[in-house]
């Protein structure tokens, strides 16, 4: 599998994705969804406003050792967009000068593939030892190359929370979404994380897993699924973890491409709209998060980042981070936002209701 960019797929252009979501697959396509804005207006939540900026989610680059079928970043080994030390230094300044930011969430691509990943984590901890750091680790990176074998110890040393995708507790569904051999490598990596204490009771080292549906459907109830994951991973592999985050796939990038090619697009979108949940809308992650792109541009979330929908502010770069302006901005929304408000809701921390 290749990235949409490498395939010269029209959906590698964010404008094409937005046009698709707003006006349908074909010219004069009669399929129309209720605008997300109208849904928010009906419940008195438009314009959508932040509750603060407590989480700085930093996308350290689009390079990844995997090419997953559902990836909203269109990440892969061919993607060369990587955050530089200059941009990281701006992030450090923001973390230093804004005590409201209590969590730094490192994502990608595989953030560990950024050559300055280690330096950046150490620098954040040096700047503010109290700040909570999350690393979104795809697991297989840990066993991809000898130079990454020490990652579990490194995470432990700095008390990072590890959040890792494992679409299912069986090989079949995992490999279907993330590529052949990913399940086995993920199990090896999870054992390495358990070995240093991650996900083990009483260690204080948090290992959370992320479930994404491997197909055109919504996640089931998070609590029930977590129980099953825990039982199966313990029974089959002796693996333990803390929490399972059930995340809905948003209809953008590679997942959008999959939906269209498999003939599921309209049904899936209708499902998302029908499952709109006002309680989930009130708790969407963009209300307390600012997302930083690999080049320092600011967005309301990682999905808006991939659609190149920058924050509705006059300062849109980390070098001119303006907390007051960000706290009073209108969050940029579009049709893909239905993905975060369906059913129990969805965020980088799983269900929101």
What residues line the site for another protein (CB under 8 A)?
168, 170, 172, 213, 215, 217-221, 224-225, 228, 270, 274
Using the minimum distance from each CB to another protein, give the nearer residue, 55 or 239: 239
Q: Which residues contact 205 (CB under 8 A, 6 or more apart)?
A: 155, 156, 159, 162, 196, 197, 198, 199
Burial label, 158 (beta-carbon count in 10 A; 0-12, 13-18, 19+): middle
- Residue (71 or 225) nearer to another protein, CB: 225
Side-chain half-sphere exposure of 194, counting CA atoms within 13 A: 15
Q: Which is nearer to another protein, 41 or 223 (CB)?
A: 223
Q: Residue for token digits 């303006």?
A: 322
CA distance 320 to 324: 12
Name which of 179 and 220 has its Cβ closer to another protein: 220
Cβ–Cβ < 8 Å for 249, 70 = yes
Give whichever of 69 and 87 is closer to another protein, judged by the CB atom. 69
Measured from the CB of residue 224, what is the shortest distance to another protein in angstroms? 6
Q: Nearest approach, Cβ of 295 to another protein (angstroms)?
A: 37
Closer residue to another protein in complex, CB, 240/264 = 264
Which of 172, 201 has the CB closer to another protein? 172
- Which CB, 168 or 255, lies closer to another protein? 168
Residue 173 C-beta: closest distance to another protein, Å: 8
Question: Toward another protein, which CB reaches closer, 101 or 214?
Answer: 214
Query: CA-CA distance, 252 to 4, in Å (whole number)?
Result: 12
Give the Å distances, CA to CA, from 162 to 96, 109, 207: 23, 15, 5
Closest among 49, 130, 119 to 95, alpha carbons compared: 130
Sign of CA dihedral 198, 201, 205, 209: positive
User: Smallest distance, Å, CB 217 to another protein?
Assistant: 4
Cα 156 to Cα 154: distance, rounded to the nearest angstrom: 5
Rounded CA gap, 317 and 80, in Å? Answer: 20
Radius of gyration of the chain measured on its C-alpha atoms: 19
Strand positions, DSSP E, 145-251: 161-165, 207-211, 244-246
User: Looking at the chain, how many residues does it have?
Assistant: 353
The minimum distance between CB 349 and another protein, in angstroms, equals 21
| Contact call for residues 192 and 142 (beta carbons, < 8 A) | yes
């Amino acid at each position: 599998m290749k990235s949409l960019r490498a395939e010269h797929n029209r959906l590698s252009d964010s404008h094409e994705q937005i046009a698709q979501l707003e006006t349908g697959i074909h010219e004069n396509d009669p399929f129309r969804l209720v605008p997300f804005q109208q849904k928010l207006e009906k419940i008195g939540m438009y314009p959508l406003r932040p509750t603060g900026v407590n989480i700085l989610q930093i996308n350290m680059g689009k390079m990844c050792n995997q090419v997953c079928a559902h990836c909203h970043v269109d990440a892969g080994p061919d993607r060369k967009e990587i955050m530089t030390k200059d941009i990281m230094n701006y992030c450090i300044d923001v973390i230093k000068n804004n005590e409201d930011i209590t969590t730094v969430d490192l994502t990608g691509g595989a953030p560990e593939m950024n050559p300055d990943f280690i330096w950046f984590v150490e620098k954040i901890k040096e700047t503010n030892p109290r700040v909570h750091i999350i690393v979104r680790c795809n697991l297989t990176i840990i066993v991809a190359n000898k130079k990454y074998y020490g990652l579990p110890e490194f995470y432990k040393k700095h008390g990072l929370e590890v959040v890792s995708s494992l679409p299912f507790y069986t090989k079949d569904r995992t490999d279907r979404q993330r590529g052949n051999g990913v399940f086995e490598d993920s199990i090896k990596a999870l054992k390495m994380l358990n070995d240093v204490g991650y996900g083990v009771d009483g260690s204080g080292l948090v290992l959370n897993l992320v479930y994404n549906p491997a197909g055109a459907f919504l996640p089931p109830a998070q609590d029930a699924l977590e129980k099953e994951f825990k039982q199966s991973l313990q029974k089959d592999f002796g693996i333990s973890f803390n929490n399972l985050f059930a995340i809905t796939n948003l209809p953008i990038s590679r997942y959008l491409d999959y939906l269209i090619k498999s003939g599921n697009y309209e049904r899936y979108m209708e499902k998302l709209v029908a499952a709109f949940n006002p309680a989930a809308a009130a708790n969407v992650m963009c209300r307390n998060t600012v997302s930083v792109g690999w080049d320092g541009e600011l967005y309301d979330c990682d999905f808006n980042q991939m659609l190149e929908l920058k924050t509705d502010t006059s300062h849109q770069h980390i070098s001119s981070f303006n907390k007051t302006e960000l706290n009073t901005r209108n969050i940029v929304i579009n049709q893909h936002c239905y993905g975060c408000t369906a059913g129990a809701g969805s965020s980088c921390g799983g269900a929101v209701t």
